[in-house]
Structure 1
Amino acid sequence: MTGGRRRRAVAVAVGVVVALGLPAAVAAPARADSIRDMEYWLDDYGFYDAWDTTLGEGATVAVIDTGVDGSVPELQGVVVDGADMSGMGSADGQTPVGENSQHGTMVASMIAGRGTGAGSGVIGVAPEASILSISVALGDGAPGSDDQIADAVRWAVDHGADVINMSLTRNSIDWPESWDDAFSYAFDNDVVVVAAAGNRINGTDEVGAPATIPGVVAVAGVDAEGDASFDASSQGITIAVAAPSEQLVAVVPGGGYVIWDGTSGAAPLVSGLAALVKSAHPELDAANVINRIIATATPKGEPVPGPIYGYGLIDAEAAVTDEVPAVSANPIGDLAAWIATYRPSSGTVSVDTLVIPPPTATPSPTAVAAPAPPSTEVYDLVHWAVPLGLLLGFLILVATFVLGAVAQFKRLLRK
């Protein structure tokens, strides 16, 4: 749908949708290297310097999205395997499907695009990483999008993904129980999962799942100056880091380029960074890959971590080269602990879970019980206690008078 100079993706009310943002008209550069010049994040966020150490060789990133067209010049030879979970695409995951079908190719090009020559075309932030393309159909009319995502995550793990990129959202903070098992499977197999926070302009006012799942690297968006993007990002307490989400350039299916905004573009920058870290430090598990990304981020805003920038703006060179103490657990959350607390298998509600009690029913007049008669025991006690009390009081007065009289009589006898 075209409106003004920007073509906007419309988020649906239910199911999973791509966190697309604001794709602009396809660019037609006068010379090829003008595209490369648009990738300001390569220099501003330390990727050029990180490439002195690694280009991402040996790392594999799964793109769960609308399918990746591996035939475009920048992605030839990049997609090493794939699958289709929608029933609408091709078995290799390279046929774009569903709403915003260009989306998956755009995301993949920002992760591992090879360019079209020396200094020309789109080059991804991890230009020697490999891509797994897992196509899912999202939006109106998509068949069981929640199940597609769960199946896609498992397929990615089983086929060697080091990182999973999910530039999509449910537009809700919760997620189906089928995702518990799928994401737990990824974490148990040391796979880094990166998800877009979503975009306010698409109706995502707060971060939505999967970016709310404990252990998932939720990515917020900033503009070209590094300040929080109002339209092309959402905010929330699960944000891990922030990356550029405005004035992005990517490849579209069939070739050609698009200028776009949205955390759908910020997430692949972080996924590519995770691939660089994994390539430079293959001994690291997922928790320590994530820890290097958040520990080396440039803090911004208060508090840190915070709901706008998380731990800060990514720094690719520092994430790859700095000395970072090891951790023993995922620093951004434990899904297993969350499941044990909020989805107890016993069927009872955890004491830490906030619940709304059901409304109290108001009985009809015919169902109201008649008042019970006063207890006979209570009546008898009142009936006898009053006269007994009066009698006892009278006897005390008499005794006091007699004792006083006796004492006075004794004094008179002694005189």
Structure 2
Amino acid sequence: MNSKIGTVDQYVERYIFFVERRYQKDEKFKKKVLEALQKIAVPPKALNVYPLDSPYLGCLAFAVTTEANSSDPAWKLSRKFAKSLRNPVKVFSDIDDNLLEMSWVERAKTLPWLNAERRRSSSELSNGGRRDGLSIPQHDLRPRDLNHGRKNQRDLRTNEIGVKGYGKSGRLTEMRQLSQPPGVSEAELGNLFRNYEFAGNGQVVYVIDTGFDPTIPELSDVKFDDWIYAGPFPTDEKGIQMTTKWHGTIVVSKVAGKITGVAQEAKIVAIEAGDGRSIDTFEAEGWIDGLLKTYDHIRRVNSDKNCIVNISFGFGLGYFDILWAANPRFTIADGIRSYFWDSILYVLNEFTRLPNVVIVSGAGNGRKNTPIDTFPAIFAQRLKSNRMVVVGGVDKSGLNYYQKADFVKVWAPARDLAYPCEPGRVDKRPTEFLREHGLCFSVSGTSFAAPTVAGILATMLSAGVPLNQVVNHMYSLAYPRVPGGPNIVYNGISTKQWKQQR
């Protein structure tokens, strides 16, 4: 099936028309454009024209599905609205070699996206002698600054909150390190992950991703508060199991999963920004629509609550080279990129203006220490707001493994992580513990460092840290686990609080 009702087995294309800023809140203009777009849309025409619209931010763009080879009528329409619409960008095609079969998975192989890296070979599953099946760090992860972060703990009184020790989470190296106090070695942690009681209680974490499976054991206790579908063709076809669906499932598990999560009491709002037209496809307009729907939901439903928006998947600059190849009327790829850039930057900036919101994004999975070139992380430099946190990724030794920039101020475990297994997957799970709890090994990427930080922010907020202080508080507590390493996130629970452990 190539499309929705009325377009079965019909070759189609999809174009996106971005709206000039001064017309985005003009309802009369919007009505005229919708009527004009329906004239070039395939049947059912009303369902194949989709405005990327927000009652608060206006209409940023229109997406229209047309017959194949509709470039001429699309450009003719844009000239009719030359002052208000930008030139059309073809973003999907059943027949264009530049776009055909370019699924989310295929693009991830060639572009520096925030995609998951999975190890599958037996040699890569070597456990190095550990009972939990995870590799031994190259160094003893013992920080040197014994007084690190103590002033912040005392001032914000988080040390008055009850603490719990989690033995199952503590079986995982990446979890233990999150509650590792300065001056305490791995051996002294006692195979426990320590966290505040009621971690994340009263906080809302929005997760914009490709899809989610709430039925797996690791997510069975997650407090899903709402579920939002985004994009012209939302992923609502029941029974389709997208391989990319597991990306979002893992992300939620890192926020609030039973064993792999850090903020089990937080409420989760899931935003599916996949494309329901076909398996595994990603379209940027659905991603932008996910941002808009998240913004609207916060304003409409959770304006009185602390909200953290986690964005663990995005796209690299190479995505626009693909679009440029499919849109030869544009002279340079930067012309297309500027359309997307302006709209995304506008929405992210509006997020940072909300008094109750923090955005968290992964730095990207490009080569170690290379500059960040992925959306949305790249916008942090332009926004210059501590309401947008970009998270780097470290390996088991505590050293940076991925892209970085001056605006990256916190890192989290991002290599060889345990994650919830897909139903029915046959995998050589390395230990009985992982097998018993439906966990696999291993997955890597800053996609999963970001939700760890999002969860810790939710935990700090639930412990009483004010939202306007929580990001700087987290930055002040983060510290290198090894000499020369970056500042890895730390939840702030001191050894004195261990005595209060329940």
TM-score, length of structure 2 as denominator length: 0.50
Gaps of 5+ in 2: 1-103, 126-130, 134-167, 181-191, 318-336, 425-437, 498-502
Q: CA offset at residue 188 of structure 1? A: 2.4
Residue-by-residue CA offset, 1:30-53 (whole Å, 9 max, x unaligned): xx9878465212221217665245
Contact kept? 1:65, 1:136, Cα under 8 Å: yes
Identify the residue that residue 45 of structure 1 maps to in structure 2.
178
Identity across the alignment (%):
23
Q: 1:151 aligns with which of 278, 292, 298?
A: 292
Q: 2:117 aligns with which of 17, 22, 28?
A: 22
Q: Is the 8 A contact 1:38 1:249 kept in 2?
A: no
Residue 14 of structure 1 contacts residue 170 of structure 1 at CA under 8 Å; is this kept in 2? Answer: no
Q: Partners in 1 of 2:348 and 2:203 — Cα distance?
A: 20
Q: Call closer, same or farther: CA 1:50–1:106 in 2, change over 3 Å.
A: same
Secondary structure of residue in 1 paired with 2:208? strand
Task: Indicate how the Cα distance of structure 1 residues 205 and 95 shifts in structure 2: closer, same or farther if over 3 A, else same.
Answer: farther
1:242 equivalent in structure 2: 411
Counterpart mapping for 1:262-411 below 5 A: 262-281=445-464, 284-285=466-467, 287-299=468-480, 309=486, 312-317=487-492
- 1:257 deviation in Å? 3.2
Residue by residue over 1:151-207, the C-alpha shift from the partner in whole angstroms, topping out at 9 and shown as x without a partner, is 243145234361111112321498622223322332222211100011026998634
**1:193 aligns with one of 321, 342, 359:** 359
Match for residue 330 of structure 2? Answer: none
Letter in 1 for 2:458: A
> Given that residues 112 and 127 in structure 1 are in contact (C-alpha distance below 8 angstroms), is that contact kept between their aligned partners in structure 2?
yes
Partner of 2:235: 89
Tell me how far 1:237 sits from its aligned partner: 2.2
Amino acid at match of 2:294: V
Cα distance change, pair 77–43 in 1 and its aligned pair in 2 (3 A):
closer
Pair 26,109 (structure 1): closer, same or farther in 2 beyond 3 Å: farther
Shift of 1:297: 1.1
Task: Determine whether 1:184 maps to 2:349.
Answer: yes
Secondary structure of the 1:108 match is: helix
Equivalent position SS for 2:453: helix
Per-residue CA deviation, residues 273-312 of structure 1 (Å, 9 max, x unaligned), is 1110111116x12x31111111111158999xxxx83xx1
Are the structure 2 counterparts of residues 141 and 294 from structure 1 closer, same or farther at C-alpha, using a change threshold of 3 Å?
closer
Distance 1:38 1:264, change over 3 A: farther
Task: Tell me which residue corresponds to 2:395.
Answer: 223
- State the Cα distance separating 1:129 from its structure 2 match: 1.5
Determine the C-alpha separation between the residues in 2 that align with 1:201 and 1:302.
21
Unpaired stretches in structure 1, ≥5 consecutive residues: 1-7, 115-121, 323-415
Separation in 2, partners of 1:203, 1:296: 23
Report the count of equivalent residues: 290
Provide the rounded CA distance (Å) in 2 between the counterparts of 1:187 and 1:205.
23
* 1:73 is aligned to 2:73: no
Q: Which residue of 288, 299, 307 maps to 1:162?
A: 307
- TM-superposed deviation, 1:239: 1.0
Q: Which residue type is aligned with residue 409 of structure 2? A: A
Question: Structure 1 49/110 Cα, relative in aligned 2: closer, same or farther at 3 Å?
Answer: closer
Q: Is the alpha carbon distance of 1:183 and 1:134 closer, same or farther for their aligned partners in structure 2, counting shifts above 3 Å? A: same
Q: Report if the CA contact (8 A) 2:170-2:193 is conserved.
A: no
Cα distance between partner residues in 1 of 2:285 and 2:246: 21
Greater CA deviation, 178-187 or 76-85? 178-187
Query: For the structure 1 residues 96 and 264, does the alpha-carbon distance in structure 2 shift closer, same or farther, using more than 3 Å as the test?
Result: farther
- Secondary structure at the counterpart of residue 374 of structure 2: coil
The answer to whether the 8 A contact 1:89-1:97 is kept is no
CA separation in 1, counterparts of 2:289 and 2:241? 13
Q: Which residue of structure 2 lines up, in the alignment, with residue 127 of structure 1?
A: 264
State the match for 2:43 in structure 1. none
**Shift of the alpha carbon at 1:251?**
1.6
Compared CA separation, residues 237 and 290, structure 1 to 2 (3 A): same
Pair member with larger Rg: 1
Task: Work out whether residues 166 and 194 of structure 1, in 8 Å CA contact, stay in contact via their aligned partners in 2.
Answer: yes
Match of 1:183, SS?
A: helix
Query: Take 1:169 and 1:104, find their aligned partners in 2: how far apart are those partners?
Result: 12
Normalized per residue, the structure richer in strand is 2
Conservation of the 8 A alpha-carbon contact between 2:399 and 2:482? no
CA-CA distance at 1:24 after TM superposition? 3.0
2:439 aligned partner = 257
